[in-house]
Copies of this chain bind each other. A is one copy, B any other.
């Protein structure tokens, strides 16, 4: 039995190795070219960092499926299940580009000033440039996915997943906004919102390599389910971290979800316990809230068992997701995917 620390080190090392390669590929796939300002704005948030968890998932799923020795393989000429070569790295970059487009547009909608420790794109540039940078990344992601170079039927499946995923992300974001004005959101509604807003992109990251490499439908379906489960767990953990991690570590005000009346599984549970969730914080201005107010609100949520309920739910989703990986060959990359699932809910920020 590996210790939790050794397990976490194994997965963070695995992600870090792939992150460097993903970062190099981003620069290649999205060069800053004419018109420069547009591409500078499009690259700005990509260059500001990010854990690259989703592209790492694309690469790990590919490795596990094709049963290759990790770190020995060229992702740009990656063996499909029938021996064809594809550019798996292009698919990984495409997923990260979609994620970045959604962050840029979400930051406009939420009027957030900071992201990844730097100004949001609409703050660093301006509203028009930020909208346009997001739009540019949107179609670029489709272009980059096509560069994977799979056979037409496989490439088409990947494009289909990508398009459906993007539509669902928009639906999820719309639900998230709608819920701010609806106190009576149920756990089922919250989970639907989280599935669309967050989990489907993890599911795309897990299933697209299966399509590109020519895996069976049954395998693809299981991988999609893995992505949904661990993606929902990831978002629930995000909700928990928003309350429990100091602002300076979080890179934004702790408790901002509470201040902005975002519905989370925590507040939905608390409301069912009779807590006046909207009354927990007296302001809806993130700049006006005090640490003491947030401490008191978090204490109430702990007392009601709401934070523990959320953590427990995330843990169950994670276990279910890991079980789905049994369709994969038993190899090192599959182990990393299991550890990645754990990491998504054990990470401190």
Contact = CB atoms under 8 A, between A and B. Distances in A.
Interface of A: 34-35, 37-38, 105, 108-109, 127-129, 131-132, 134-136, 138-140, 142-143, 146, 151-153, 155-156, 159-160, 162-167, 170-171, 173-175, 177-178
B142 A163 contact: yes
A34 B196 CA distance: 12
Nearest to A164: B143
Given A170-B132, A178-B35, A139 B163 contact: yes
A134 B175 CA distance: 16
Nearest to A192: B34
A303 B206 CA distance: 64
Nearest to A177: B128
Contact of A140 (B109, B138, B151, B167): B167
Nearest to A178: B35
Given A105-B131, A136-B171, A167-B136, A159 B178 contact: no
Given A35-B178, A132-B174, A175-B35, A166 B139 contact: yes
Q: How many copies does the complex hold?
A: 2
A155 B163 CA distance: 14
A159 B135 contact: no
Specify the main secondary structure of chain A where it touches its partner.
helix
A315 to B, nearest CB: 29
11 contacts: A35-B175, A35-B178, A37-B174, A38-B171, A105-B131, A105-B135, A132-B170, A135-B166, A136-B171, A151-B152, A152-B156
A131 B143 contact: no
Given A37-B178, A38-B170, A142-B142, A109 B136 contact: no
Contacts of A171: 34-35, 38, 136
Contacts of A155: 152, 156
A34 to B, nearest CB: 8
Contacts of A129: 174, 177
A35 B165 CA distance: 15
Nearest to A98: B139
Given A105-B131, A109-B128, A139 B170 contact: yes
Given A105-B131, A135-B170, 9 more contacts: A35-B171, A35-B175, A37-B178, A38-B174, A108-B127, A135-B166, A136-B171, A151-B152, A152-B152
In the complex, which of the residues A35, A109, A132, A140 has the most CB atoms of chain B within 10 Å of its own CB atom?
A35
B132 A173 contact: yes
